[in-house]
Amino acid sequence: MTSLPLGAHVDQEDPIAEARARSADIAQFFLGDPQGWKGPKFAYDGGAEALVAAANDAGVGLYVHAPYVINVATTNNRIRIPSRKLLQQTVTAAAQIGALGVIVHGGHVSKSDDPEVGFDNWRKCIERMDMPCPVLIENTAGGDNAMARHLDRIERLWAAVTDAEGGATVGFCLDTCHFHAGGEELGTVVDRVKAITGRIDLVHANDSQDAFDSGRDRHANFGSGKIAGDDLLAVVRAAGAPVIVETPGGADGQGADIDWLRRHLDGR
């Protein structure tokens, strides 16, 4: 059997039950509203302590996805400053449940901005953070002035982040749909990412509803989108990191995708 932990993005109310319904080893979820600025909360009955105990009993590893509204790169103070605060709150809360990492999108600056300002804003964010839990920066699918859509930008972002005190705690989350839609070839992307970051800590394995370089972030179940199954498997094998599927269909759809991965990684 594959030694790679496999799991899915699930509802936050009972991630352990959701993981079991998908025969998953790991679970990713939000702590609160993914589209809002309110601080994290533990929706699990009994709170953080109960969730830690349940996860340990079930042998399920936990990951937290930070809210989508976070953009620590932006030059807009009214977004950047609350973003830093919310990311810190999320990391602190994630550490309370022993999360293996907090995944956050790379963000962007405005069309007229110098992207170097965005990279430096990331450096400042990391320097000012307390990180009892690793922060995993995820590549994104769209945006002309995104920090983490293309590899040349990721290289500059990584230089800024690793220059910061605490930068060694920062990891990388590779999303297959995002790289496909963002215009990076999946066949070589793992080696190219590792050449920049030296690491891949988590893979988001998702098919894509849209064509290569579309800039559109719309996930699909394996075999129903535009990414060849062999390319998905090649990324997972080469990365050698835990895998989260963020595909549609709830327990049935995601469970089928996890099963597909497990069977093909085992050579069955």
Annotation: CATH topology of 27-176+183-263: TIM Barrel (3.20.20)
Q: At what angle do helices 229-239 and 186-197 cross, to 10 degrees?
A: 20
Do 95 and 133 form a contact (C-beta atoms < 8 A)?
Answer: yes
Structure confidence at residue 47 (pLDDT): 97
Q: Is 152 exposed, middle or buried, given 0-12, 13-18 or 19+ CB atoms closer than 10 A? A: exposed
- In percent, how much of the chain has pLDDT > 90? 97
pLDDT at residue 2 is higher than 80: no
**Residue 67's closest CA among 84, 52, 55?**
84
57 φ/ψ angles, rounded to the nearest 5 degrees: -60, -40
Position 144 pLDDT exceeds 90: no
Over residues 71-88, the mean pLDDT reads 98
SS (H, E, C) 106-155: CCECCCCCCHHHHHHHHHHHHHHCCCCCCEEEECCCCCCCECCCCHHHHH
Q: What is the pLDDT of residue 111?
A: 93
For the segment 251-262, what is each residue's pLDDT rounded down to a tens digit? 999 999 999 999
Domain extents for the chain? 27-176+183-263
Helices 229-239 & 250-265 angle (0-180, nearest 10): 70
pLDDT at 143: 87
State the average pLDDT for the chain: 97
1 has a pLDDT exceeding 80: no
107 contacts 74 by C-beta, under 8 angstroms: yes
- pTM confidence score: 0.97
pLDDT bracket for residue 267 (50, 70, 90): confident
Residue 62 has pLDDT above 70, yes or no: yes
Calculate what percentage of the chain has a pLDDT beyond 70: 99
pLDDT digits (tens, 9 = 90+) for 193-236: 999 999 999 999 999 999 999 999 999 999 999 999 999 999 99
The dihedral of CA 13, 206, 201, 236: what is its sign? positive
pLDDT digits (tens, 9 = 90+) for 155-183: 999 999 999 999 999 999 999 999 999 99
**DSSP class per residue in 164-193:** STTGGGEEEEEEHHHHHHHT--HHHHHHHH
pLDDT beyond 70 at 268: no
